[in-house]
Amino acid sequence: MTTNPWWRGAVVYQVYPRSLMDANNDGIGDIPGIISKLDYIASLGVDAIWVSPFFKSPMKDFGYDISDYRDIDPLFGSLADFDRLIAEAHARGIKIIIDQVLSHTSDQHAWFLESRESRDNAKADWYVWADPKPDGTPPNNWLAIFGGSAWEWEPRRCQYYLHNFLKSQPDLNYHCDAVRAQILEEVEFWLKRGVDGLRLDAIIFCFHDKLLRDNPAKPIEERRGRGFREDNPYAFQRHVYDCDRPENLQFLESLRKLMDRYPGAVTLGEIASEDSLKTMAEYTAGNSRLHMAYSFELLVDQLSGSYIRETVETLEKNLTEGWPCWSIGNHDVVRVMSRWGGAEQSPQLAKTLNALLLSLRGSVCSYQGEELGLPEAEIQQHELQDPYGITFWPRFKGRDGCRTPMPWHHTETHAGFAQAKTWLPIPAAHKERAVSLQDDDSASILNAYRTFMQWRKQQPALRLGEIAFVADAQDYLVFIRRYENQALLCAFNFANTSQRVSLDRPYSLAAISGHGLASIEVNTDTLELPAYGALISRII
């Protein structure tokens, strides 16, 4: 196992800085707050922390609109605080991965402020500018993910600029050589500072079609599925010209050459394209592009063992040299216990879902609060912060419900997160699953997570092995993880009743301990899985 890169099979704990811990009592989490919780994060047994954006920003999209790539927003602290975070994390054996939002900036970034002033200044072509059609309308039919046209009129230049997200997030023009060179310098600033990796946000959006061709319409029968909402016409198009362009691969190769100058530094790309599994394979091919990629394929609304199998097998078929990374929750989707746990939101199911995620082939992104089994918070309209939710309320309530502050103590003010009023409310249901309550409960979701994580570290089959599925249905999943002379049978029941599962053939199983799950010693072609239960045994 020591010959493999640290990130293969690693577990990355995603921290949303606004909501982990508030150290200065302004109701908003910060970098000193993260430092104060490093011992807790270390107790989980994770390998790395992915820190969502903390850069200087007007916060129109809560840090994903960067106005200075090389500075910390005062809301979160200072560069000195960040340097201390790296040092303190490394002292505990934890790597630091930071978000890099490379496809666009804030409209308050100095580059854009200069670019918009005229058509002939030094940064005139650093963003995507286009003349209107003869009737004054936008140059094509491209749409913004957050609603409406992807083009915004700028009277200073008498042109439109492109924004795939908010109008306050203008897209950089990657067809410009100077932009690509400058972005690599921005990235290297953090590599020199000691970060261990980059999570690349919206990385498929760097390049656009130079000819600005219209996106074709997507047939009605194909508009259903993951992420589709009738209230947002973005899903009505095939997004073939506004993102995921062939030139993107060349830029990723340039980025990889830079990363290779910093041994051990890793890239993790966020992929959400027309065919995300195919794109993941392309973006990680040849050991010359991204190290890892993850998609939204397991961030779906319904839990299905058959769907998980189909998704993983499809990626395995397409993937060559690349390495997958899986997540079942993050800061952009409804928390997994509300999506997959239904009204019951069973603590036992939370344990099983965490064990499932940590048993798939690849690396793992585990979102803060999943180790506690937190459900989605119900946010009232007057409490909304997310511009996405504000635009589409009430049919879509945005992403605030998965971004609420961590509940550290069930009896303290604001659950121990802060003394001041918190930027988003902390629901009573979260206080009932606070760290203080789960810490001392040997049967808690939190301690089940810790137990499984410590055991997983010693299992090369789970960290590095191949995967082969042997049984699946809507409400269960069984697969084998195999590495060298170790083979593990992993079975998961998503139903609230026990199930008898038929395997593809008889297996000789030996009980194995330490993971906190069920384990059996038997020669059988069937398994008895307890309600919401998981089983892992050694194959002999």
Q: Please identify every residue annotated as catalytic.
A: 201, 270
Q: How many helices (H) and strands (E) does the chain have?
A: 16, 19
From the CB of residue 343, how many other CB atoms can be counted at a distance below 10 Å? 6
Return phi, psi of residue 520, to 5°. -130, 160
Report d(CA 214, CA 212) in Å as an integer: 7
H/E element, 139: none
* Strands 476-483, 48-51: pairing kind: unpaired
- Local structure of 83: helix, strand or coil: helix
The distance of Cα 64 from the centroid of its chain, to the nearest Å, equals: 13
Scored b (16 or more CB within 10 A) or e, 241-255 reads: bbbbbeebbebbeeb
Q: For 349, list phi and psi in degrees, rounded to 5.
A: -65, -40
The residue type found at 305 is G
Collect all residues with Cβ–Cβ distance below 8 Å to 357 and sequence separation of at least 6: 326, 327, 328, 364, 366
Tell me the C-alpha distance between 376 and 369, whole Å: 10
CA distance 266 to 287: 12
Residue 85 main-chain phi, psi, to 5 deg: -60, -45
CB 377 within 8 A of CB 369: no
Q: Rounded to whole angstroms, how far apart are CA atoms 215 and 212?
A: 9
Q: How far apart are CA 523 and CA 537, in angstroms?
A: 11
Structural tokens at position 169: 């997030």
Work out the angle at residue 494's Cα, subtended by the Cα atoms of residues 46 and 445, and round it to the nearest 5 degrees: 40
Cβ-in-10-Å burial (0-12, 13-18, 19+) of 443 comes to exposed
Q: Are 534 and 349 in contact (CB under 8 A)?
A: no
Nearest to 527 by CA among 505, 515, 512: 505
DSSP states of 410-421 as a string? SSSGGGGT-SSP
